Structures are given as C-alpha cells and as structure tokens.
Amino acid sequence: MPEQSATITAVSHYVPEGRLTNRDLEKMVDTDDRWIMERTGIRERRIVEQGTPTSSLGAEAARRVLSERGVEADEIDLIIVATVTPDMMFPSTACVLQEKIGASNAWGFDLSGACSGFLYALATGAQFIQSGRHSKVLVVGADVMSSIIDFEDRATCVLFGDGAGAVLMEAAKGSNGVVDWILGSDGSGGPYLYMPGGGSLHPPSAETVERKMHYVHQNGRSVFKFAVRGMIEVSESILQRNGLTPSDLKLFVPHQANMRIIKATAEKLRLDPARVAVNIDRFANTTAATIPICLSEASTDGTIEEGDLLLLVSFGAGFTWGGILLRWGC
C-alpha cells in the first residue's frame, strides 16, 4: 500500500462546566492564590461532577470533531484514547467511547503515555494513515485527573484539571500534515511521578487505600528540571534535523504542566511569547488533553491557519517525551 502523509482534518475539545478556582482551593488546603499563580500560572481548573468518567469527556470531544468535519461515526476505522485515567482497568476506554459515539466499524485501544500520551497517540495514528491501511483515525487525549488526586495534598491538588481533546486524522491532499516526530522514554524516571496502587503490583486493598496509593505522587522539583531539559532537547533536535529554526514556527504548543516550564523552554528557544500556546491559567494540567485542547482553541480563534508550521512538545511521567512537527491543514 502506498505511503501517504497523515494530517489533522478536524480538532475539538470538551471541558466540564465545573470550575475550581485557587480561592476555592484556599478553603480546602493550606495554599493561596498568589503561591499557585506565581509557582504554576494556574488560576482555575475544570472538574467533573463526581462519577463522570473519562469516556464521557472524550466522547463529547469526539462528537464535536465529527460534526466539525461532517463525518459519521461509522466511518471511523480506528480510535486511540490516550489516558492515565481510564474508566476501568478493562475494557478499554476506547471501546467504551466507541459504543458511546456509535463508531460501529472501528477498532480501538488505550495508550498510556501520561502527559506525552496525546503525542504518542498522534504519531501512532499517523502510521495507520500513512500505510494506507486506514482512512479515518480518531485520536483522543482525555483525563479525569480529579479521580486520582488527593485533595488533601497541596503539592499536587492545585496542579491538575479534567478535560478532553480529539482530532480526526486522514490522508493529506497536499503538503500538510505530520512532517516529523521524535518520541522518547526513560523508565528510570518512574519514581518521580507515579500512582502506585490499583495495578498488579499493588492490587487494591484496604491497605493501599489507607496508604493513599491510589493518588498521584510527585517529586515536583525533580520533574520540573527534567521537564525543562527534555522539552528543550526534543524541540532543538526535531527543528535541527529538519533544517528549521524556532522562527519558522507559527505556533509552539507545549504540554501545559507549569507556566514556568513553558516560559523557560520558550526563552531557551528564543520564541516570541505570542507564538506559544498557553491555556494553563484556565484549565491547569489535564495530562493527555492539554495539547489537543490548545490546538482546538488555536484553530477556533484563527491563530493557526492552513499551511502554518507547528511544533507540539510534551514531557511527563515515565519519563516520556515527544515532539511532533506538523503543517496545519487538510
């Protein structure tokens, strides 16, 4: 089958209505709006009503993508859901989402890449288009981080939010689409950011609950350093090997974990701040959803147009990281 370039032909997102502001958090833990704003750049985050699963957010983002492109759900060949907060251990959230949107001709699977999950999924989806094997791949990045956050732990509960973003990938007609990608991981970074309980290593028990093992644990300071270094390195590598400089980019779309990480990366790359996608102030860190939500907003407000060159960059638990160079448009 012929090799063809894969591109994003539609993008959308969904965030829950419920807002949790820094002021709200002041009443829950020993923190304050000023610390959160200065140390993270986050003002508020969206939080689901209790019991709303990741598939519901992902399905709504997916429906919006299909409607934007005028595609029926049964035309989708493959669904990839990047998430660390699946509805259940199994079946996959991709299967649940398939049923919710009625994508009866698709197959699907979940992909666990934490904050790099969407980029892992985008590169994976692109392979199925490029090989000519599939014509419509739905890639979803969705997380209900509030389901695995300890709202008594000020070091983590201020950082995360819930949300979903989705894209449709199809074969590009012209020269748009995925130009290049670099994905990486380093398992020695595992102990810096993880959720120990609930898997086969520590199956759920009264003890795992008692020891708060079903929550996110993070060594924030270390992750911060690795994240800045990792995002700079992957950005420089992918630009260099494609003969590009940061000034060739219309938009730099970094994972939204901390405004200081975004700024440090952008400054090292000498990027014009106007060309850096930022929405961490409104949505916080939605893990697999941050990058597609940024793309969705940039597409809707006209920041990115047909033919613009974008660099999507992530860093997260694993450690995992990625960079995808993309020429926007069908």
Write out the residues near ligand UT7 by the rule CB under 6 A: 31, 35-36, 39-40, 115, 154-155, 158-159, 193, 220-221, 223-224, 227, 257-258, 261, 285, 316
Beta strands at 78-82 and 137-144: parallel, antiparallel or unpaired:
parallel
Q: Is the CB of 41 or the CB of 197 nearer to ligand UT7? A: 41
Question: How far apart are CB 128 and ligand UT7 at their closest, in Å?
Answer: 27
Question: How far apart are CB 125 and ligand UT7 at their closest, in Å?
Answer: 22
DSSP 197: S
Q: Is the CB of 111 or the CB of 115 nearer to ligand UT7? A: 115
Neighbouring residues of 308: CB distance < 8 A, sequence distance ≥ 6 = 250, 251, 327, 328, 329
Of 121, 127, 124, 118, nearest to 5 by C-alpha is: 127
Q: Is the CB of 73 or the CB of 142 nearer to ligand UT7? A: 142
Question: How far apart are CB 316 and ligand UT7 at their closest, in Å?
Answer: 4
Q: Is the CB of 7 or the CB of 265 nearer to ligand UT7? A: 265
Catalytic residue among 22, 95, 115, 258: 115
Q: How far apart are the first and last CA of the chain?
A: 21
* 202 is a catalytic site residue: no
Q: Is the CB of 86 or the CB of 113 nearer to ligand UT7? A: 113
Question: How far apart are CB 35 and ligand UT7 at their closest, in Å?
Answer: 4
Using DSSP's 3-state secondary structure scheme, residue 163 falls into strand
* 13 is a catalytic site residue: no
Determine contact, residues 260/197, Cβ cutoff 8 Å: no
Q: How many residues appear in the chain?
A: 330
Q: Is the CB of 25 or the CB of 123 nearer to ligand UT7? A: 25
Question: How far apart are CB 29 and ligand UT7 at their closest, in Å?
Answer: 7
* 95 is a catalytic site residue: no
Using DSSP's 3-state secondary structure scheme, residue 125 falls into helix
Determine contact, residues 122/82, Cβ cutoff 8 Å: no
Q: Is the CB of 223 or the CB of 269 nearer to ligand UT7? A: 223
Using DSSP's 3-state secondary structure scheme, residue 173 falls into coil
Neighbouring residues of 291: CB distance < 8 A, sequence distance ≥ 6 = 118, 119, 141, 165, 253, 255, 312, 314
CA 273 to chain CA centroid, nearest Å: 21
Catalytic residue among 176, 258, 279, 285: 285
Question: How far apart are CB 280 and ligand UT7 at their closest, in Å?
Answer: 10
Question: How far apart are CB 127 and ligand UT7 at their closest, in Å?
Answer: 25
Rounded Cα–Cα distance for residues 17 and 20 (Å): 10
Burial 187-220 (b: 16+ CB within 10 A, else e): eebeebbbbbbeeeeeeeeeeeeeeebbbbbbeb
Q: Which residue is nearest to ligand UT7 (CB)?
A: 220
Q: In sequence order, what DSSP letters do the residues of 220-261 get, joined into one string?
A: HHHHHHHHHHHHHHHHHHHHHHTT--GGG-SEEEE--S-HHH
Catalytic residue among 95, 134, 176, 255: 255
Active site residues: 115, 255, 285
